[in-house]
Amino acid sequence: MKKSGLSLLKSRVAISKTEVFKMALFISIIFFGCATSPPHSEPKTFGTAATFEEAVQECYILAAETLFYSYDGELPTAHNVIPGPNEMPGICSDYSLEFAYYWNEVKNYDEIFGRAYFGRWEHDIFSIRDYMLVPDGSSRVREETGSFWFCVNSGEVDGVYRDAFLMKVLYIGEPLLHYGFSLTDYHFWIIIKHNDNWYYCDPTYFDTWPDFPSPPLLMQNIVLPL
């Protein structure tokens, strides 16, 4: 027996309601299941350097391959000891940001050999600072100053690949020699606390100074309350 038009309509409405209910239930399961499931995170990987010195050398090279030194952000103005295929212009703060990125976040050597902090020299004042790396564009210091060179203020570092926000100042001290030289201008470099000792690491010098003594330099005659 054929169903009447009204019966067919009622049947289709019932089927339609059932399908809608099933779809709503399916969506709610997906939504609430995802909402209550722990977020997926990739397993942390670590660099393979066997020693502190090897780890420093590895991150020196990784940082140097991404940058060439430039005062104006266009032309090289120093040696480029380690060339890379897609280098960007940068200054000492850019080199330091890249070293810290590879050391603390990519290779996770901070958990093996100690965290990479930042040494800063400005107006005859030496300080050790801890920065949080943030995506490029988070800081606009270079745009605000209109200068490629002036890319750091009291709380931010504007880099070419990534930026950084100051978390805390760990130490402020007197002028000191930097690899045997007296610093006379603004400078940024890396300082690592390893086995309760503090070491200089300068990725800018590594890429611009052909005879740079690349092993990390133990900071002597400085008492750091950390």
Residue 175 token pair: 């002028």
Question: How far apart are the C-alpha atoms of 38 and 33, rounded to whole Å?
Answer: 10
Q: What is the mean pLDDT of residues 51-76?
A: 96
Would you tell me the crossing angle of helices 52-64 and 92-100 to the nearest 10 degrees? 130
The residue segments making up the domain with residue 2 are: 1-35
- For residue 45, being part of any structural domain is answered with no
Name the band, by pLDDT with cuts 50, 70 and 90, for residue 3.
very low
Residue scoring higher pLDDT (160 or 7) = 160
140 and 172 inside one domain:
yes
133 and 205 inside one domain:
yes
Q: What is the mean pLDDT of residues 132-139?
A: 97
What is the CB neighbour count within 10 angstroms for residue 132?
A: 10
Question: Is pLDDT above 80 for 211?
Answer: yes
Specify the pLDDT at position 221. Answer: 53
Specify the pLDDT at position 215. Answer: 82
Specify the pLDDT at position 32. Answer: 36
In sequence order, the 6+-apart residues with CB closer than 8 A to the CB of 65 are 82, 83, 84, 85, 87
Residue scoring higher pLDDT (69 or 173) = 69
108 and 134 inside one domain:
yes
* Predicted TM-score of the model (pTM): 0.80
- For residue 115, being part of any structural domain is answered with yes
Q: What is the mean pLDDT of residues 112-138?
A: 94
With beta carbons less than 8 A apart as the criterion, state whether 160 and 135 touch. no
30 and 56 inside one domain:
no
- For residue 153, being part of any structural domain is answered with yes
96 and 204 inside one domain:
yes
Residue 17 token pair: 């309601």
4 and 66 inside one domain:
no
